[in-house]
Structures are given as C-alpha cells and as structure tokens.
Structure 1
Amino acid sequence: MVFTPRHIIDAMIALIDPQPSDVIGDPACGTAGFLARTMEYLNRVHSSEAGTFQDEDGNTHYSGDLLEPYRDHINKQMFWGFDFDTTMLRVSSMNMMLHGVNGANILYQDSLNKSVKEHYPQQEQDYFDVILANPPFKGSLDEANTNPDVLGIVKTKKTELLFVAHILRALKLGGRAAVIVPDGVLFGSSKAHQQLRKELLVDNQLEGIISLPSGVFKPYAGVSTAILMFTKGGSTERVWFYDLQADGYSLDDKRTPLKGDGNNDLPDAITKWKQYRELVLANASSDDIEKHFGDKTKKAFVVDASLIADNKYDLSINRYKEVVYEEEQYEDPKVILKKLQALEKEIMADLDELEGML
C-alpha cells in the first residue's frame, strides 16, 4: 500500500475542481484520502464569509454553509470508494464520517474483478463525473478473473494499465479524472501500453500530464510517477505537460518540509493549468495557445497530438521537453598547461623542503 501525500492529493483535487453536484469515485480508495480531502476542498470553496471562522489558535475553519442545497446528495450519493482490504474500508468509513459525510458509499470490491459487473453494474460503467485515484502500481492479475470489458480496452495483466482502462469505463461521457500512474505507463513499448495510450488520445481527451519527481512517494516507493488528467469522450488535439521538479519537501526518505519559492512547483503547476484550461474553454486559437505554452524549454508546454501519435503515442515528458545548454568557456590549453607546470614546481619545492626536515 502506497499512501498518497496530502499535498499531492490536494493539488490533484484543485486541478480537477470537483463541483458539489458531482458524483465522485476512487476505485482503489485505501483510507479514502482523495474522497475526504475533496470534502475539505468543497467546504473551503463553498463557505461564505459568515461561514468562515478562526479558532483561538488562529486556524481557519470552513463550515461549507453554501453547500446546504446539496447536503442530501453529499451525504448519500456523492462519494464512492472501493477496496478489498476490510481494515482500510473501516478506516475509510470513519474518515468520511469525521469529514461530515455519514452515508458515503465505501464498498468491499476489487474494482478490476469480473464480479464488479454483478455487484455494482451501475457504477462500473458510465457513472462518475469525477474519479481521483492512485491505484496500485505493482502486480498482475489472472485474466480469468478480470472484468472482460476492461480487457476489451487493453489486453494485459498489468494492474496499472487495467486501472486506467477501468476508470475510463466508469466515467460518464464528459466525466474527468486525475490519476497517478508509474512512468512506465507513459512510455512502455508493449502492445498493451501503446493500445491504452492510443485509447486515451484518439477516443478520449488526454488533457494534461504532470511529471512528478521520483522521491514523491518515499519512503514507501521510489518509482517515478506522473499525474494523468483526462476527460472521457471526444479526441485529443494537444496535451499540456508540466515538468514538476520540486513539491515542497526533500526527495529523500525523510521528506523534510522545505521553505522558499524555488522548492515547490505545485502552486505554479495549478496556476498554469488553470490558465491553459481558460484558453481551451474560450476556444482560443492554436496560435494563441502556442503563444502562451509553445516554448518547450519552459516547465509548462503543449505538444500536438499528431506529434505524439508519430512517436508511438509516447507520453514521456523528456521526449518533448527541450533542454537549454549553457555554453561553457574554457581557457586555452597552453594557459592550462602553464598553470599545471607552476603547480608541479610548487609541489616539488614543498617535497624538497619536507625531505630537508627528515
């Protein structure tokens, strides 16, 4: 079990911006971190001035008073979490209750197992407005027990590919997702890897990829990961990339908080994403988008979907990011040689002096 750091969860929620009318799911919910933090986000965004107050320690609290018209939906229908670890399910239910959601649908189910079609036929296809997830990376499944409809999208035993396919199925048309995947999903050369990436680009809208530094999940795992942001249906015109190099914490096992602007790219990533989405939603021309995000030497840039298709649907950021090399100035070899000869003389003089002392 790899626990997703809170600040990464919060960033993903901010990127997706769930609405109080949405139905939100996590197919591998663990302790329901994504669902509980979504409730916190909704409270924060939907609190009036009168509904926002500070305690005696100066901590700000958000009552979510503007959510009242949606309260029944929030309590009963909004949140769905699936897992097959009963201990995790108990923790999830308690976590949601502590966040004021008494009727969250926290359910015992392996989301990839074919039994999902029998137990939750409604939820396994065309159901969710939003899915937020960090599904298990490692492991392979027995094909005989895997949901055949998921295998129809991508024929593989790898759980990281199957989960993305399942999420695509479970979303409504127009539903959106933010999902953490290991980097191998982005550039793996197997037929299944390419098949899934093609599905995301050709038959859906793969809108954004945020490349995360490899230490984000330490000490649990050191694997390099990325956040995929996609919408079900349509087709992809271009993909927005962000090269996130720092998340506000040291990238070793201690994960010590770091202060200073240069140590956290997350706020900038969220700001740039919102700028990009505003352009897209305003039907900005390709030239206009290129003007803002065409420079591939910057952290945030766009890549045309046709270029990605030409590269076997490779989605690794390093394939498209352009690195600026600074020109180094070196001294003339003769000057360097003279300096070395002078150093040699000094060393010999010191050795002679040392010999004289013995």
Structure 2
Amino acid sequence: MALGSLVKTLQNIMRKDAGINGDAQRIEQMTWLFFLKIYDAKEQEWEFHDDSYQSIIPERLRWYSWAHDAKDGKALTGDELLDFVNNDLFKTLESLELAPDAPLRHVVVKAAFTDANNYMKDGILLRQVINEIDESVDFTEYKERHAFGEIYETILKDLQSAGNAGEFYTPRAVTDFMAQALAPKLGETVADFACGTGGFLTSALKILDSQVQTPADRELYARSVYGIEKKQLPYLLCVTNMLLHDIDNPEVFHDNSLEKDVREWKHKPDGQFDVVLMNPPYGGSESASVQNNFPVALRSSETADLFLGLILYRLKRGGRAAVIIPDGFLFGQDSAKTEIKRRLLEDMNLHTVLRLPQSVFAPYTSITTNVLFFDNTGASEGVWFYRMDMPEGYKHFSKTKPIRIEHFAPVKEWWENRRDIEEDGNPKAKYYTVDELRDGGFNFDVCGYPHEEEEILPPDELIRNYKEERAKLDAEIDQKLARICEILGIEA
C-alpha cells in the first residue's frame, strides 16, 4: 500500500468500530499502535549496535511477538486480542517498574501508556488495523521511516479539525518560520514547555540536522531538544515524533511545567535553555496553587501569562525566544500582563512583535495571535511591530488552504531590511522606543488590522471574541481615565 493512503485506510476501518467516537479518538488509537511499531524498530537498532541492550518491554508484549501476523492462523484476533490488549499490554506497560537511573528511552514507554486508551471494541477490526500498520511500513528501513515522517504530519494536521485537540497543533509553516528566525545551532539546547505534538522541536531539529557533519555532531543533535507536555495524547504524539527524528532518548516529559516554583530555575543553569520556541495554551485558568509558584507580581489565572513568566526564568543569559500569544496580552492592562511587558522591555530585549492574520489557526480557532521575539541580552532599546497581511488571493486560511512557509516571504524580506511601512494611512510596520511604550501604559496593540472580515462564528467562538473585545475596550477606557485623573491631579 502507498504510504499516502495508509492513514485514510486506518480511519475507514476504525469508523466501523462502535467504540471509537470522532477523529481525536481515531488519532489516539493510531498513535499508540504507531508508537509500539516504531519503538520495536528502534529496539532492533539498539540491539544491533549494543549486544548488552535489554528491552524494558516484556518479550510477550514486544510488537513482533503479538502484532505480526504470519498468516498461519495463530495471530491473536477477536475477543482474544481485545483481552490481551486491554488486560495485559496496557496494564503492564503503564505499571512498569523503572530504576531511578533508567534511560529516557525506557521512561517514555511507561509515560506513553499512562492514561492512554484502547477505544476499539471489535477485535477483528483491531486486527485489521494492526495488519495494515505492520505490513505497510518497515520502520527498520531509514528511508521508509523518514518517508513516514511526512505521513505522520497528516495525522498531526488532522488534529486541527478534531475538536479541542486542535490546540495541540501549530501550523508547520509557523513553527518553521519561528525556528528559522532564531536559527538554533548544534550545541545549543531548544525547549518548549508546552510542547504539544512536538512541532517546534521538529522544526528546530530540521535546522540542526542540516548542520550534522560528524558522529560527534550527531550526538549533539540527539541531546538538543527538551519538551514538557501535560496531556496524554499530544505527549504520545510528540514522543513518537522524536523517535521518527532519531532522538533515541527523547527528553520529553509527561508533566506540567507550571507546577514548580519558577524562582528555583535562577539557581539551576542546567534547567535553562539557549532557545525557547512556544505556543503556550491560552484561555485556560490556573489554580491558586499553580499561581503561587510565581512571584506575586507575575501571578495570573491566564495560562499564557504564566508561561511567559516561566520563560523569563528559564531562558539562558544570551538565549533567545519566540512565543505565540493572543491579542489580549498586547492590550491587557491587568497587573500581571503589565509586569511581564515591563520585564520584557527592561530585563529582556523584546525586539520584534509579529502580528499574525486572524485565521492562521483555522479551523480550530479564529482568535488573532502574535509572535513575540526577544532575547536575554540586556534591556530593550525599542520594539519593531510588523503586521503580516493575508497573501494575495486569500480571504482567510482554512484546512484546505492553510498558511504556507512561502507566505512568510514578505516578513523575511522586511526582517532583513527593517523600515517603517504605512498602507492606506495605517502603519504596517513601525518602530517604538521603550519610552513610547512605557508612556502608553505598556499597550502593545499597535500596527493592527484596520479592516476585519465579517464572518459567521459558532456561539462559543463568538462569546470568546466578544469577551476579548470587551476587555480591550475596558483597557482603553481605564487608560484614558487614568490619564485624565493624572492631568486633573486627582486619584483614579
């Protein structure tokens, strides 16, 4: 079977199973099976290069022991296969006992099956899915494994339209552009503290792989990326992604980056990184116990604010970062947002804000986002703002017409030759000094979109956009009232 049709074939089989409901569950079902098949191929590599290698997976649970069908009538199927998967495979792997110094390639097996699910209820259909995977891809072949990496990308793209699962996927054109802008180098460490499916990490790995010339370079490449992901499905997708990119001991952890006091990182250089690439979750609300892990001035219930605060502590001196944030951060006037913006200007070197078109994340969300580019080299002297407009011929991006890397060509040209640009009487690109931004109450909502397309949105999206617009208007009113009170010499 052609690799390009594999995912569609698997989805069609799973649609017949009463236990699977929706694309997100189909993706999760495929992912743990792909993980085991890929991990089996990697173990064959490790055993070939190291006679002393011992698998963490019991022999009866290794892919070749139970999944391969020799067509001799002995392969598990039906209720027998379901019982094996549900009551032996899953239960054993999620309860593996690991030594404190266990290598990460063993740790990820246990983590991958903690909270994972087998949704299929028809053992015959499950056998069909397993056979398609086993017979269609030989992951022991380097070329075929890397060809499958392209197919794996289609699974990740499907997340964007799979309900709330879309929050874990950032369009590859965006991750590639951000990684190219920061240009990681071999020997540097690249981190994403809410790594989702690993899009930013793989974009960085593409750049680093092109720099590999020697075996020593390959070792640096293998130790170059670090990720943390709170939720099970994207974690499993990310670990599988790393194995496909020849990261044999992926430093990707199933954890919550915010559940540790950020102030401790100042005293732990090994917990700081040269490059941070992120699209933090936004719109979420964090508990008081999580907020207490931050200095009082940085405490916020908004998840994106807390991740920005975390980066301030985990970016190495001389390091650089690119972070996607929603519009609400730019104009937000609450104490935490104002303090973060102040620190980005006075403690960090915030040098560029790229304003992205509204539909970049369609169909998952139409909320307008931006990219902050900053580094830890000293205080900022000023910030460039640039508005990225829709490419010619596009009214909006969609699943069938997504943003592509070539759409960033005007941004790249401007990036290398920065200048003020005005269109139709509105600034498209402009430089603001720190004093100008400070005097404006740290309102970064400049070089925005003067003409918004009117579109029909689902109720939840409409309400979310309304709340954001109301917050923006409230912030502008508060700012003007404060200015009036200052002129009149009265307390607000």
Question: TM-score scaled to structure 2, two decimals?
Answer: 0.52
Separation (CA, whole Å) in 2 of partners of 1:243 and 1:67: 41
The change in CA–CA distance for 1:70 and 1:146 in structure 2 (over 3 A counts) is farther
Report the AA paired with residue 231 of structure 1.
D
Task: Give the greater-gyration-radius structure (CA).
Answer: 1
1:1-358 matches, within 5 Å, as 1=165, 2=167, 3-44=169-210, 46=211, 65-66=212-213, 68-76=215-223, 78-114=224-260, 122=268, 127-146=272-291, 148=293, 150-152=294-296, 154-246=298-390, 251-256=396-401, 265-276=407-418, 293-297=419-423, 299-318=428-447
Report the AA paired with residue 411 of structure 2.
A
Report the CA distance between 1:114 and its aligned residue: 2.5
Report the CA distance between 1:250 and its aligned residue: 5.4
Task: Give the strand-richer structure, 1 or 2.
Answer: 1
Identity across matched positions, percent: 30
Report the CA distance between 1:145 and its aligned residue: 3.0
Separation (CA, whole Å) in 2 of partners of 1:232 and 1:117: 16
Report the CA distance between 1:115 and its aligned residue: 7.2
Provide the aligned length of Structure 1 versus Structure 2. Answer: 281
Separation (CA, whole Å) in 1 of partners of 2:193 and 2:388: 26
Residues 291-322 of structure 1: CA distance to partner in whole angstroms, max 9, x if unpaired? xx245556333221211111011111237x99
Report the CA distance between 1:43 and its aligned residue: 2.7
Residues 65-103 of structure 1: CA distance to partner in whole angstroms, max 9, x if unpaired? 426432212213x11010111232222111011112212
The answer (yes or no) to whether the contact 1:246–1:264 under 8 Å persists in 2 is no
Report the AA paired with residue 266 of structure 1.
F
The change in CA–CA distance for 1:244 and 1:311 in structure 2 (over 3 A counts) is same
Separation (CA, whole Å) in 2 of partners of 1:79 and 1:9: 14
Report the CA distance between 1:123 and its aligned residue: 7.3
Report the AA paired with residue 281 of structure 2.
P
The change in CA–CA distance for 1:257 and 1:117 in structure 2 (over 3 A counts) is closer
Separation (CA, whole Å) in 2 of partners of 1:272 and 1:305: 21
Report the AA paired with residue 444 of structure 2.
L
Report the AA paired with residue 42 of structure 1.
L
Residues 230-251 of structure 1: CA distance to partner in whole angstroms, max 9, x if unpaired? 1125111111111101268652
Instruction: Show the counterpart of 1:348.
Output: none
The answer (yes or no) to whether the contact 2:197–2:238 under 8 Å persists in 1 is yes
The answer (yes or no) to whether the contact 2:358–2:367 under 8 Å persists in 1 is yes
RMSD of aligned alpha carbons: 3.0
Residues 33-82 of structure 1: CA distance to partner in whole angstroms, max 9, x if unpaired? 110121112234x3xxxxxxxxxxxxxxxxxx426432212213x11010
Report the AA paired with residue 221 of structure 2.
I
The answer (yes or no) to whether the contact 1:14–1:270 under 8 Å persists in 2 is no
Report the AA paired with residue 170 of structure 1.
R
- Tell me, what secondary structure is at the counterpart of 1:313? coil
The change in CA–CA distance for 1:187 and 1:118 in structure 2 (over 3 A counts) is closer
- Tell me, what secondary structure is at the counterpart of 1:36? helix
Separation (CA, whole Å) in 1 of partners of 2:295 and 2:234: 27
Separation (CA, whole Å) in 1 of partners of 2:428 and 2:214: 36
The answer (yes or no) to whether the contact 2:382–2:431 under 8 Å persists in 1 is yes
The answer (yes or no) to whether the contact 2:263–2:313 under 8 Å persists in 1 is no
Report the CA distance between 1:220 and its aligned residue: 0.7
Report the CA distance between 1:275 and its aligned residue: 3.6
**Larger RCO (CA within 8 A; separation ≥ 6):** 1
Task: Give the helix-richer structure, 1 or 2.
Answer: 2
Report the CA distance between 1:194 and its aligned residue: 1.2
The answer (yes or no) to whether the contact 2:429–2:447 under 8 Å persists in 1 is no
The answer (yes or no) to whether the contact 1:133–1:180 under 8 Å persists in 2 is yes
Instruction: Note the residue ranges of structure 1 that are not aligned, 5 or more in a row.
Output: 47-64, 277-292, 324-358
Q: Which runs of 4+ in 1 moved over 6 A?
A: 115-119
Report the AA paired with residue 239 of structure 2.
S
The answer (yes or no) to whether the contact 1:210–1:244 under 8 Å persists in 2 is yes
Instruction: Show the counterpart of 1:329.
Output: none
Q: Which moved more, 1:305-314 or 1:81-90?
A: 81-90
- Tell me, what secondary structure is at the counterpart of 2:213? helix
Separation (CA, whole Å) in 1 of partners of 2:384 and 2:409: 16
The change in CA–CA distance for 1:41 and 1:299 in structure 2 (over 3 A counts) is farther
Report the CA distance between 1:117 and its aligned residue: 8.3
Separation (CA, whole Å) in 2 of partners of 1:116 and 1:82: 15
Separation (CA, whole Å) in 2 of partners of 1:43 and 1:93: 18
Report the CA distance between 1:208 and its aligned residue: 0.6
- Tell me, what secondary structure is at the counterpart of 2:234? helix
The change in CA–CA distance for 1:151 and 1:221 in structure 2 (over 3 A counts) is farther
Separation (CA, whole Å) in 1 of partners of 2:442 and 2:213: 43
The answer (yes or no) to whether the contact 1:213–1:224 under 8 Å persists in 2 is yes
The answer (yes or no) to whether the contact 2:230–2:254 under 8 Å persists in 1 is yes
